[in-house]
Structure 1
């Protein structure tokens, strides 16, 4: 039973159930929980009941007022694909005990393991946090959700003094130390690692591959189609399917967020743009402080092209644009040798079954100790000179 009389709430099954200005006022300058990004997912049918990502966003109001004061973008899940905070072992444990792990409710950006604000609000009082948790726990009981999960939350917007269990992860981000050029960045590295990067970049420059950044006017329907083929090929090679996102998602994304999106593309042939063949691309998004690299793909194999399009071009752009951080996506220890540093990520979980909740808490404690050791190992592999 909800005790706080200051708030009320509703769940909505589409972003469009909240007026765009009201959503954006709470979302601020976030990209991946913006009205535009989440709308593109829904309008393109990349999420929806048939995908196992059923939109179920929580909207909170002050009592008897119409303006929302908080939104928690959420989904009812019937599987654990596309989350990047892995709980397959938890689901298998439920299955061994003849219990249903699905459905569950998750607050996350579908298919995108990016750190950011999950609770969209200009107020972060303990009373509001407690009300939201009470709502979610009551909904979990009423709808037979196995648990509640909040993935890749900002640490400063964490959930203190609650039943939610904090789980750590590790990603690799590049940080701009006020470099004035790519060479200035390379100068901070040990000679061997600096030479490796120069050699990889030189191999691309000496080939007949041309790298071009495309802005909103240059991203035509044909370019989007070629990029989508690259995206599908990557997923087929890695997972045996065409990926989670539809071609329409990318079409809508470039239409909805034209100032924040660009493509870094590779073409084979040096006889001018019209005679070049599109062979690879990486999608980039940019906000005021951070560059995000997403959804690389290639139509043919070419040594070091992945590093060039996904890492080195992104670092150069972050330096040129005076951005503080470059997030090139999850996983990949090979990023360490190229100047990306380990950072902790934070997710929060609770399960409705009390015995499993206790077991998961113990598992996360053990995992945290292992991650601390892994983090230190990653730090030891960084290529920078001794200070």
Structure 2
């Protein structure tokens, strides 16, 4: 773990300490971000403080006090009456150490927020990423991302959400939203939807860190364990996923000696343990599918019948067109490309996929398997035209060129 990763692990503790003492989640979150910026500037030059957590709490509290004294904060004087200015030059008592990761995740995934806002606020308030880092990851201007985060905090404030875990009756539903946000963060990092890079490692690393924190906080939840296993098993292949020119290398062509054996072993252990404990959810099933892929020494010996069986169950548990699209590939591997293409025909009318390059590229792959090289070539080119990811575009055009 890098030093800065260690700092980011402190963010929930520092933010939690401020919010419990002063309230004002939005102002406290801004103050913690300013403290992180100060740490990034000072610690490499002056050396790490003896107690990084106390240092961050002290600096963030001073920033908060400055904010309260500002014109903007004066307009919120009623909310800030409880705030006491810390002694100048002295260290603020950080209070007892505690992990507020789960509380913050639930707060950032409040149902009043849209999914993009939930992701942005989670990365900033829980992950400690700056607004500029989040904006770069999602290829939007920093000002746009700042507005999104600001609106998210205002909506949380308007909803009257307190800094506490939701009632037990709400936790299961809200935990599902939390898991989905972490999953979306990982997916955006693992295969960026647009831009010149295939992978945004800062997002995949942060998603795995958050999944680990969730698993540590609620170790008995099968879906939390399943999500962590899925992310580990998927990320284990990242070094083999790109060619020297940065283009995507499909799973069947990857050099498996580059896969991370330690991550695979940890992921498989999580899957094995969680599948033996009762009710099975979609993240556990996806992790089991990833484990079958990762345990195959070569693409040729992949256990496609088992993968097809798992996708069939997954489609019943969590039906959606992406699952059906992946099942079509497994069907083609087990029963032949014609059977897989028949499944794709049924998906063509689904508006959630009809404009996407994924349906077109999978169809091209199955047409290539069936020997219809002309149609496959045209399909790869059409998929390349539709994608906004430069690495995927290069990969698809290369596949088309191979069929000339």
Band the TM-score falls in, shorter-chain normalisation: under 0.3
Question: What is the TM-score with the length of structure 2 in the denominator?
Answer: 0.26
Question: What is the TM-score with the length of structure 1 in the denominator?
Answer: 0.27
Flag the structure with more relative contact order, 1 or 2, with Cα contacts below 8 A and sequence separation at least 6: 1
